[in-house]
Amino acid sequence: MTIGEGATLTNNGAMVVNGKLYNLGTLINNGSYNDVITSNDPDNGQFNYHKGIVIAWKDDVTQSGVQPVSLINGRDSSGKDYPNALLINNGDIVLNPGTLENHMQLINGQGNNVYLGVVTEAIIPINPTAEAPTVLTKRITLPNPVGSTLVNYGLVLNHGSIAPATIAINDNGSLGALRSPGDHPELHHSELRNHSEYFAGKSA
């Protein structure tokens, strides 16, 4: 998905990214994770969507080449930069796992959060069997924790919190309770990669 140059997208609800989101214009997030939109999914039953921007795996992570997804601010898929790109977070951005790559300007407002989730489990699709024809997924433990990353090449104005977290993965694939710092706070420093002198504010 791409937000084009000169365009503005304001998210007041739930924005779930399972691939790559390129912001070349202005992306404003006003959603907070603890606010939930509940819907009735015909396959999964009652399904909770958390407000804010949620970047999370969808593919079978046991397959080779599967990578955590990403939100890229200020650069398109060809590598071209967009100097006016602006990402404003007035709520919660949750990576579970994923990468937030900032090439231009990211403003994380006071009292708001960017959560770098560490994943130790995943729910993957399986083929049903004659004994269990309705069981289409299973929960697995990953051989190593998989973390999220914030990579900054531009300007970050952090008036809120950029912090590690653990986010529960429900049996139906939706996300559940968020805890910060979570189970692997020791990974947090390696998850923040600042390549610019323009990073203002604290990272936890």
Instruction: Over range 187-198, report the average pLDDT.
Output: 65
Share of the chain above pLDDT 70, in %: 91
pLDDT exceeds cutoff 60 at 204? no
Structural domain harbouring 148: 2-200
Please name the residue that has the structure tokens 């924005």: 15
Does the pTM surpass 0.85? The reply is yes
Beta-sheet pairing, 86-89 with 119-125: unpaired
* Burial (CB count <10 Å: 0-12, 13-18, 19+), residue 117: buried
- Domains: count for the chain: 1
pLDDT for 61: 78
Instruction: Determine the distance from the C-alpha atom of residue 100 to the mean position of all C-alpha atoms in its chain, rounded to a whole number.
Output: 8
Amino acid occupying residue 203: S
Amino acid occupying residue 17: V
37 sits in the region (left: phi over 0; alpha: psi -120 to 50; else beta) called beta
Among 14, 153, 9, residue whose Cα is nearest residue 74 = 153
